[in-house]
Amino acid sequence: MTKLIVLFSGGTGTPKLLQGLIELVPQEEISVVVNTAEDCWLPHGYFSPDVDTVLYTLSGLIDDEVWHGIKGDTFFTHRQLLALGHDEVLNIGDRDRATHIYRGALMRRGLRLSETIEILRKTLGVRGRVYPMSDDPVETVISTPEKDMGLHEFWVEKKGSPTVTGITIRDAEKATPTPGVVDAILSADGIIIGPSNPVSSILPIISIPPIRKALKARKNRVAVSPVIGRKPVSGPADKFMKALGFEPTSRGTAELYEGLVDHFVVDIRDEELYLEETEVYRTDTIMNNLEKKRALAEFLLGILNISYH
């Protein structure tokens, strides 16, 4: 019988997990709901970084050293732009840029973001479903003592150094989920909130009211902590969690997901954790090779009682 697993994803930790999961599960049985709160128009096209990382992961194109862009890509256009004096902050590869250009052209013709992703998905030969969380603009705004900024300015341009005084997920409350997302959540055999940034990747998705409601109505939901001790495995999750008043730990992550998960997986190196309503599991969650990615995916399938043998 066909099964359906739904994952909530940002751009690094969950795609690593996806690489392991697709070794075990037919892609047709996987749907990924992806954060779009870092999307923006760039001079050449429309940039949807987390969606592209998921598309490239499922199609085998991903540059899995840096978790964005296409493996073996060239950078002629980027270098020429710099030579001409255009200060392009993001290091965008030529083939990756083609994705942005094509998506932007389709959107200018009137297609919705989700429709353009459906076209890209099929063209790239991706058999799993990839849903941007919404076709409506939602934006993660990072407040610093100097000014408000987006994630790319904070993390790439300013290298994550400003003090973060607040985070707002702008317009999430009035966003509508992409068609198919709520049905996928309600009909899935199991739901995985992957090890993504709880604030800048997962919070935008779970702040969209119908997605939150659907997830709340479910059972068989598992989340993986992206934090060990008081440090995320990578990225600025600790600063962001503190800015929202959560401790930057697995406990803080579980609190952010309160009422939305039944099972919570923390790393074996992490401190002991007991949660009232949620069962806690411990395993090695550091996915630094394919075997470990597959092992974590298998561990999660076990928790969700989904078997493929």
On the CB side of 19, CA atoms within 13 Å amount to 21
Q: Shortest approach of ligand GDP to residue 153 CB, angstroms?
A: 13
Task: From residue 80, give the alpha-carbon distance in Å to each of 48, 77, 88.
Answer: 23, 5, 10
Minimum Å gap between C-beta 84 and ligand GDP is 30
The yes or no reply on residue 226 touching ligand GDP (CB under 6 A) is yes
Give yes or no for residue 132 binding ligand GDP (CB under 6 A).
Answer: no
Q: How far is the CB of 132 from ligand GDP (least distance, A)?
A: 15
Question: To the nearest whole angstrom, how small is the minimum distance from the Cβ of residue 295 to ligand GDP?
Answer: 12
Identified binder of ligand GDP from the candidate list 120, 214, 287, 303, rule CB under 6 A = 287
Segment interacting with ligand GDP, rule: CB under 6 A, options 55-63, 134-142, 207-215, 280-288: 280-288
Residue closer to ligand GDP (CB basis): 52 or 267: 267
Are 32 and 18 contacting, i.e. CB atoms less than 8 angstroms apart? yes
**At 131, is the secondary structure helix, strand, or coil?**
strand
Q: Which stretch binds ligand GDP (CB under 6 A): 5-13, 95-103, 125-133, 176-184?
A: 5-13
Amino acid at 157: E
In whole angstroms, what is the distance from residue 107 CA to residue 74 CA? 25
Task: Say if residues 22 and 14 touch (Cβ distance below 8 Å).
Answer: no
Element containing residue 249 per DSSP (H, E): none
286 counts as binding ligand GDP under rule CB under 6 A: yes
Q: Which of 11, 104, 190, 248 binds ligand GDP (CB under 6 A)?
A: 11
Strands (E), 113-178: 129-132, 139-143, 148-149, 166-170
Name which of 69, 72, 45, 48 is nearest 57 in CA terms. 69
Based on CB atoms, which residue is closest to ligand GDP, 166 or 229? 229
Per the listing, tokens 């003592």 go with 145
Nearer to ligand GDP, 50 or 135 (CB): 50
Asked if 196 is part of the footprint of ligand GDP (rule: CB under 6 A), the reply reads yes
Q: Tell whether residue 114 is a contact of ligand GDP (CB under 6 A).
A: no
- Rounded to 5 degrees, φ, ψ at 239 are -60, -40
Cβ distance to ligand GDP smaller for residue 128 or 236:
236
- DSSP assigned state of 28: G
Minimal distance in Å, beta carbon 257 to ligand GDP? 13
Query: Least Å distance between CB 301 and ligand GDP?
Result: 17
Which of 7, 13, 56, 138 touches ligand GDP by CB under 6 A?
13
Distance CA 203, CA 37 (A): 10
Choosing from 25, 117, 208, 224, the residue that interacts with ligand GDP (CB under 6 A) is 224
Cα 48 to Cα 133: distance, rounded to the nearest angstrom: 11
How many residues touch ligand GDP under the rule CB under 6 A: the total is 22
What's the CA gap between 280 and 265, in Å, rounded? 6
The smaller minimum CB distance to ligand GDP, of residues 273 and 286, is found at 286
Token pair in block for residue 234: 């990578």
- Classify strands 221-224 and 190-193 as parallel, antiparallel or unpaired: parallel
Binding string, residues 228-247; x marks residues near ligand GDP by CB under 6 A:
----xxxxxx----------
* Contact positions vs ligand GDP (CB under 6 A): 10-13, 16, 195-197, 200-201, 224, 226, 232-237, 267, 285-287
